[in-house]
């Protein structure tokens, strides 16, 4: 019997990897955009920009267009223009009076509130005051406006501490949306309400929310056909880029790849952040492997040697640890050393020090957890509250 087989390890029973086959069968044709689609994308982008700039004559319609751009996932193409337009409207006294006028309905005010706050402009919550009755409650007749109630509900997700009227808006709209869902309304609107109640738009992963909204928008009678086509092509082109990035991540490991990449994709989906997504996903995978090594494989003696090597940042793994731990160590050091070289080329020397320091801190934390587990020591991060019996004494 070998020495390795005699070692008692805290092995965990992890489920089988479900991604390996899917990730190894991307064909080259699937991972490349054709010249035709790229040219069409450029042409449609220009057409959409023309429509966007033309909408400036009506500030409210302009912001509604911005909302469509955002939800369809293409606002990043026009971000500078969007910030400029919103800034002009936000600072306009005429515009601020207009949205507080009775002619501006609940749907419109809710949408404007969302868009301004989404792009960092804190539009006052008092824009909703006109929708309240004398008893300081939202007017019941508003319930008949399904789109308006949905808009109010989504707007209420952008509240900040102390905004009582927004808290009331959330309670009012969520209650009535649950009732409206069971009424006779268009199917695409019912699905949208169901998804909004389960997971509000701005709290979701942007790519998933965009894919959902493309379907909603396609079912709308007043949809912009050019904008819809542009958003579909843009979504598909970005998806090809994201899948290409995913194949880069699989070079490090095939386990937890999709989960790690989805984490980085949720942070930023735009094409200019391609390398950031790949590096973040790989870093997450490395941290996951480290966590598993400490929790479910290494013995205390091996983990102490492993942690000491990380702390000293040895160029090669120590001989006294098993091959699997050496493999993890090599991947970790190789990734961080190459990242250091890339950052130095970009003129960002010094960043690597903080990255490695964070990794070492995490490894030491995992080591402490392993010690606690061995000692069967329960840790408390707050003082123990007195028991009822102690209070009675």
pLDDT, tens digit (0-9, with 9 covering 90-100), for 42-76: 999 999 999 999 999 999 999 999 999 999 999 99
In DSSP terms, 132 is beta-bridged to: 138
Q: Of the ranges 141-145, 257-261, 374-378, which one carries the lowest mean pLDDT score?
A: 374-378
Which ranges of the chain would DSSP assign to H, the alpha helix?
3-6, 20-23, 35-54, 59-71, 79-90, 93-99, 106-118, 146-156, 164-180, 187-198, 206-218, 225-249, 257-267, 274-296, 300-312, 323-345, 351-374, 388-392
> According to the model, what pLDDT value does residue 2 have?
45
Superfamily of domain 34-235: Terpene synthase, N-terminal domain (1.50.10.130)
Rounded to the nearest 10 degrees, the angle between the axes of helix 79-90 and helix 106-118 is: 120
- For the chain, the first-to-last Cα distance in angstroms comes to 60
Contacts of 218 (CB under 8 A, 6+ apart): 228
pLDDT, tens digit (0-9, with 9 covering 90-100), for 149-188: 999 999 999 999 999 999 999 999 999 998 888 888 888 8
93 pLDDT higher than 90: yes
Whole-angstrom distance, CA of residue 19 vs CA of residue 281: 15
282 pLDDT higher than 50: yes
338 pLDDT higher than 50: yes
pLDDT, tens digit (0-9, with 9 covering 90-100), for 352-374: 889 999 999 999 999 999 888 87
Picking from 77, 79, 80, 86, the residue whose alpha carbon sits closest to that of residue 55 is 86
Question: Cβ(116)–Cβ(109) under 8 Å?
Answer: no
Question: Cβ(262)–Cβ(245) under 8 Å?
Answer: no
In DSSP terms, 138 is beta-bridged to: 132
Whole-angstrom distance, CA of residue 157 vs CA of residue 141: 22
Mean pLDDT of 101-111: 93
**What class, spelled out in words, does domain 250-374 have in CATH?**
mainly alpha
> According to the model, what pLDDT value does residue 367 have?
94
> According to the model, what pLDDT value does residue 389 have?
42
pLDDT, tens digit (0-9, with 9 covering 90-100), for 131-154: 999 888 999 999 999 999 999 999
> According to the model, what pLDDT value does residue 375 have?
75
> According to the model, what pLDDT value does residue 6 have?
61
Picking from 368, 202, 258, the residue whose alpha carbon sits closest to that of residue 22 is 258
> According to the model, what pLDDT value does residue 13 have?
65
Give the pTM.
0.84
380 pLDDT higher than 70: no
> According to the model, what pLDDT value does residue 258 have?
86
- DSSP string spanning 78-139? GHHHHHHHHHHHHT-HHHHHHHTSTTS-HHHHHHHHHHHHHTT----GGGGGGGB-TTSSB-
| 3 state DSSP class of 250 | coil
Quickly state the pLDDT bin for 296 (edges 50, 70, 90).
confident
Domain boundaries of the chain, sorted by first residue: 34-235, 250-374
When computed from its CA atoms, the radius of gyration of the chain, rounded to whole angstroms, is 27
């Amino acid at each position: 019997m070998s020495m390795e087989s005699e070692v008692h390890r805290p092995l965990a029973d992890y489920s089988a990897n479900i991604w390996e086959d899917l990730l190894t069968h991307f064909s080259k044709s699937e991972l490349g955009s054709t010249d035709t689609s790229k040219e069409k994308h450029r042409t449609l982008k220009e057409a959409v920009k023309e429509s966007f700039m033309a909408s400036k004559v009506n500030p409210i319609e302009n912001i509604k267009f911005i909302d469509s751009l955002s939800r369809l996932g293409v606002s990043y193409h026009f971000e500078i223009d969007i910030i400029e337009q919103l800034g002009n409207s936000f600072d306009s006294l005429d515009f601020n009076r207009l949205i507080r006028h009775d002619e501006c309905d609940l749907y419109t005010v809710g949408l404007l509130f969302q868009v301004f706050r989404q792009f960092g402009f804190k539009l006052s919550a008092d824009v909703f005051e006109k929708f309240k009755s004398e008893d300081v409650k939202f007017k019941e007749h508003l319930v008949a406006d399904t789109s308006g109630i949905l808009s109010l509900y989504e707007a209420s997700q952008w509240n900040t501490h102390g905004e009582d009227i927004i808290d009331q808006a959330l309670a009012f709209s969520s209650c009535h949306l649950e009732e409206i869902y069971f009424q006779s309304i268009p199917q695409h609107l019912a699905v949208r309400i169901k998804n909004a109640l389960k997971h509000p738009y701005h709290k979701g992963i942007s790519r998933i929310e965009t894919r959902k909204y493309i379907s909603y928008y396609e079912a709308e009678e007043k949809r912009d056909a050019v904008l819809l086509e542009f958003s579909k092509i843009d979504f598909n082109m970005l998806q090809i880029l994201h899948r290409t990035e995913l194949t880069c991540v699989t070079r490090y490991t095939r386990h937890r790849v999709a989960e790690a990449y989805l984490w980085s994709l949720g942070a930023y989906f735009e094409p200019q952040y391609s390398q950031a997504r790949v590096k973040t996903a790989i870093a997450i995978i490395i941290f996951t492997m480290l966590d598993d090594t400490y929790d479910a494989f290494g013995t205390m003696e091996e983990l102490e040697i492993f942690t000491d090597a990380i702390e000293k940042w040895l160029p090669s793994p120590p001989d006294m640890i098993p091959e699997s731990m050496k493999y993890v160590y090599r991947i970790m050091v190789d990734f961080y050393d190459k990242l250091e070289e890339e950052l130095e080329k970009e003129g960002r020397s010094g960043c690597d020090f903080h990255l490695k320091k964070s990794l070492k801190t995490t490894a030491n934390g995992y080591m402490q957890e392993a010690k606690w587990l061995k000692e069967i020591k329960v840790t408390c991060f707050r003082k123990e509250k007195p028991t009822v019996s102690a209070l009675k004494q």
